[in-house]
Copies of this chain bind each other. A is one copy, B any other.
Amino acid sequence: MNQPTVPLSRVLEPATLLQQLRGRYATKKFDPSKKISPQDWSALEEALVLSPSSFGLQPWKFIAVNTPAIREKLMAASWGQRQLVDASHLVIFALKKNLGEADVKHLIERTAEAHGVSVESLEQYRQTMVGSLAGKKAGIDDWSARQVYIALGVFLSSAAMLGIDACPMEGFDPAQHDQILGLGAKGYSAVVMAAVGYRATDDKYAMAPKVRYQAEEVIEHV
């Protein structure tokens, strides 16, 4: 079968894409009265689910925290940053610890199901993944953390396209977050988070010029 592939359509002009990427910023002050609509939030959750990862291993969990009392506790373990309680939504990005053979097996089973093939037919693929993970053994959690950051990038871009503000945050105590959310016991660990919602009209950071190095400095052509 030589089915023609569906090409990816183009949904934004380059200028529009850049307008959004320039317009987003790490929102320091959210308007607590403005909430993300259920439809938009559902799309952002699906964007997380759809995020790419190496081998498609998805070594992550995303915790959407809506309970005010839990948000308060997390804020106390995050230098008191108000975004955690003022933003419409809050997501903790966690990595799956000690990713290994059982996780590969799980992905293989999911792949077999999605592709309608047998688990046995994917044995070589399974071995490749197991071998690759074993080679990373020393830093497997660091490797998983990198994958989580792809999801963060996809999430922040997606929010910007929907006109939703966000603040990615690393400034918190992961051990405390793990304990508050019961992540450690389940084999996960918090690595980064994002508060999402709508900026307060008086967030002074909103009007600050974006600080980026010149393209000539960070992009090299060879």
A residues apposed to B, CB below 8 Å: 2-12, 14-24, 26, 39-40, 42-43, 45-52, 54, 56, 58, 60-67, 70, 107, 110-111, 114-115, 139, 142, 145-158, 160-165, 168, 170, 181, 191-192, 198-203, 206-213, 215, 218-222
User: Known: A12-B12, A23-B6, A149-B146. Contact between A162 and B17, CB under 8 A?
Assistant: yes
Decide: A47 and B18 in contact? CB cutoff 8 A: yes
In the complex the two chains form, what is the Cα distance from A97 to B163 in whole Å? 35
B residues less than 8 Å from A198 (CB atoms):
7
Having A18-B46, A52-B156, A58-B218, one finds 9 other A-B pairs with CB under 8 Å, namely A5-B201, A5-B206, A11-B163, A17-B43, A50-B210, A111-B211, A114-B211, A149-B152, A153-B155
CB distance from A153 to the nearest CB of B (A): 2
B residues less than 8 Å from A152 (CB atoms):
149-150, 153
B residues less than 8 Å from A146 (CB atoms):
145-146, 148-149, 191-192
B residues less than 8 Å from A5 (CB atoms):
199-203, 206-207
Decide: A211 and B115 in contact? CB cutoff 8 A: yes
Decide: A211 and B43 in contact? CB cutoff 8 A: no
Decide: B50 and A212 in contact? CB cutoff 8 A: yes
B residues less than 8 Å from A142 (CB atoms):
139, 142, 145
In the complex the two chains form, what is the Cα distance from A152 to B63 in whole Å? 22
Closest residue of B by beta carbon distance from A25? B52
User: Known: A150-B153, A202-B2. Contact between A8 and B64, CB under 8 A?
Assistant: no
Decide: A17 and B161 in contact? CB cutoff 8 A: yes
CB distance from A221 to the nearest CB of B (A): 5
* Cross-interface CB contact of A110 among B48, B150, B191, B213, cutoff 8 Å: B213
In the complex the two chains form, what is the Cα distance from A202 to B221 in whole Å? 30
Decide: A153 and B149 in contact? CB cutoff 8 A: yes
